[in-house]
Chains A and B, each alone.
Chain A
């Protein structure tokens, strides 16, 4: 090696470095881009569409109507009727699921022999896909050969076969029954998790102090699992209010719209009437109702957390 070479300062190749935050952004970018493309862009587009009278079967004629679509719906008896039915379905099915789920959770929490088998059997309905559940109940409720009619007539509870799903007085109750049958196990499992997180010593102390079973449940267990109950309420209320598939398969919203939930009303407006302007406005109105429900529940949860 020559002296000149030795005299030259050693050059180390310095690779340019990127800050960590840039790298993180690069990795997050694809996911963010996908969210923008498949969530935010359609949301923005739907908001834009809701301000126009867009009928798919009238191409090229899309007048701006401002808030007209929203005002039309808010003044429409059909909209409020479907909201009322969705709320009825939500309140009744959630209340029944909560009551039955709590009873099942208490049963599964007992130190019974074969408890694993009991838990497995109870969870089975939840494992069924909604479409299978709906088809199964449509068959059970069939007016001519359904097993519900066979059971009730053979036990003398009713005298004649009843058209359960064709009668506007009973159709909604049949839909609620199908929903309760499938989703009570989910509620029961969540509540069971809550029950099992309760410190057993607290329960034992109450019993030593002379509290009976009902008092132990009401004064000790129930307050301790209230946060779990509220979480279950949040989950079930929002899901139930959006109910679509179960009703669509069992009754298509009939007879005489007696089971038409707000989600079915929106679907029929947008995709059967091809009225995309009003359909988009309905979508936003449904989202608004759910946001209000969520805000109320989150406030309740916050209060419970503080106490």
Chain B
């Protein structure tokens, strides 16, 4: 015998189910409202390096105080998640952010993907003339400007004065050959087993070191105007061969192939390495007595060069892009220019150098640490960019693997880079 149910019961069950579905499907959907002409800008920043979260909060608080009708929502993510989060948020739907933080290699991609808007004609003349020219390489693509330069950073050369002095070296290494000689002397004296430590993990960090060294070993023109690879013949190849030599000579800590910049800091801070490249934030970490056993022994200079090129620094700058989907582009640009203004940059200079040329003439600022300001001044004058192509993320991933294969010795530097060069047509598809 089959059970039979009344129609109202069935309809009620269906109605309840549909209602539940509707509730489930709309749950989580939110709306934004504004009232009284008040504008709220949604912005995304990164957690580590550069300005701290507290500093960014203070800068935007000051902006809101000066512009009471513009509120700023801040969202902080790890650098590793920043690019992917921006792309997914801005390409799908209406776009979430009014401003996004843009790293040096991204302008080409963000411009082609219509994430960042062209602000070439909206940058004030005094801003253009006031900051280092190289700062704009972090925001330029096809002769246009896609973001307001904000952080000017590069990898500096940190060394342990005490260790080098114990090996008979009393002046800072000026060339990469000097670095090799100093490292060999430190190793021969048994001061540390591996004098050099690097951030050569399979990540963007290894590309930065490679590009910086390439900048003085024949130039860092990685791709020519026709889109063909040049990184496998000139400075790129010479830099990788140099890196491999430091491994073969037993001067580089082999763990470097898994190290990030934080590991480089930790290794030098623990007194287990004598020299290494790192961003500006390394200085405070290495000279912090609470966390570093070598605090006070660490000196910093601009990255070493060669006989013909005194120094080159990889452009690690970042800019603030106004998104194409922003409903308040004028207010967003106003915020970006505020964050990059000379007063803000000079006020919050603990972890990041200003990019304003005049700041380097201000002895009130530079007298705090003249050695580091001098290093920054010479490094910022000649920054080199990583390859500027719209398919940079794919190219960088392929280069990371190639560089690691060469350092490991499974391929020669030439073979490894040639393979990536041959892949370019596929990568750019």
Interface residues of A (CB under 8 A from B): 15-20, 22-23, 26-27, 29-30, 33-34, 53, 56-59, 72, 143-144, 160, 163, 165-168, 251-257, 268, 271-275
Contacts and interface: CB of A to CB of B under 8 A. Distances in A.
A166 B113 contact: no
A143 B252 CA distance: 13
B390 A57 contact: yes
A252 B202 contact: yes
A257 B202 contact: yes
Given A166-B254, A274-B393, A256 B401 contact: yes
Contact of A257 (B14, B253, B256, B401): B401
Interface string B159-202: 00000000000000000000000000000000001000000011
27 contacts: A17-B4, A17-B6, A17-B7, A20-B5, A27-B13, A27-B17, A30-B20, A56-B91, A57-B91, A57-B109, A58-B112, A58-B113, A59-B113, A72-B426, A144-B267, A166-B254, A166-B255, A168-B404, A168-B408, A168-B410, A253-B202, A255-B201, A255-B257, A255-B258, A256-B408, A257-B401, A275-B394
Give the interface size bracket for B toward A: 35 or more
Given A57-B109, A255-B257, A257-B401, A29 B17 contact: yes
B380 to A, nearest CB: 30
Contacts of B109: 57
A168 B10 CA distance: 62
Contacts of B91: 56-57, 59
Interface string B242-273: 00000000000111111100010011001010
Given A144-B255, A252-B202, A254-B201, A273 B394 contact: yes
Contact of A57 (B87, B201, B263, B401): B87
Contacts of A273: 393-394, 397
Contacts of B17: 26-27, 29-30
A256 B258 contact: no
Nearest to B263: A144
B111 to A, nearest CB: 10
* Residue from A17, A22, A72, A251 having most chain B Cβ neighbours under 10 A: A17
A251 to B, nearest CB: 7
B408 A255 contact: yes
Contacts of A56: 87-88, 91, 113
B113 A255 contact: no
A22 B113 contact: no
Contacts of A22: 10
A164 B33 CA distance: 53
A72 B427 CA distance: 12
Q: Which 4 A-B pairs have the closest CB atoms?
A: A166-B258, A254-B202, A143-B255, A163-B255
B3 A26 contact: no
A168 to B, nearest CB: 5
B21 interface: yes
B100 to A, nearest CB: 14
Nearest to A72: B426
Contacts of A255: 201-202, 257-258, 404, 408
Contacts of A15: 6-7
Given A57-B109, A72-B426, 18 more contacts: A16-B6, A17-B4, A19-B2, A20-B2, A23-B13, A30-B17, A56-B113, A58-B112, A58-B113, A59-B113, A144-B272, A163-B254, A166-B258, A252-B201, A253-B202, A254-B201, A254-B258, A273-B394
A301 B365 CA distance: 76
A160 B408 CA distance: 18
A29 B18 CA distance: 10
Nearest to A143: B255
Nearest to B406: A256
Nearest to A53: B429
B405 A256 contact: yes
Interface in B54-99: 84, 87-88, 91
A255 B402 CA distance: 10
B203 interface: yes
A33 B258 contact: no
A204 B256 CA distance: 59
Given A26-B14, A163-B257, A256 B404 contact: yes
B83 to A, nearest CB: 9
Interface in B26-66: none
Contact of A272 (B201, B393, B429): B393
Given A252-B203, A256-B405, A272 B2 contact: no
A242 B307 CA distance: 52
Contacts of B267: 144
A29 to B, nearest CB: 7
A194 B113 CA distance: 57
A33 B21 contact: yes
B114 interface: yes
Contacts of A57: 87, 91, 109, 112-113, 390
Contacts of A53: 429
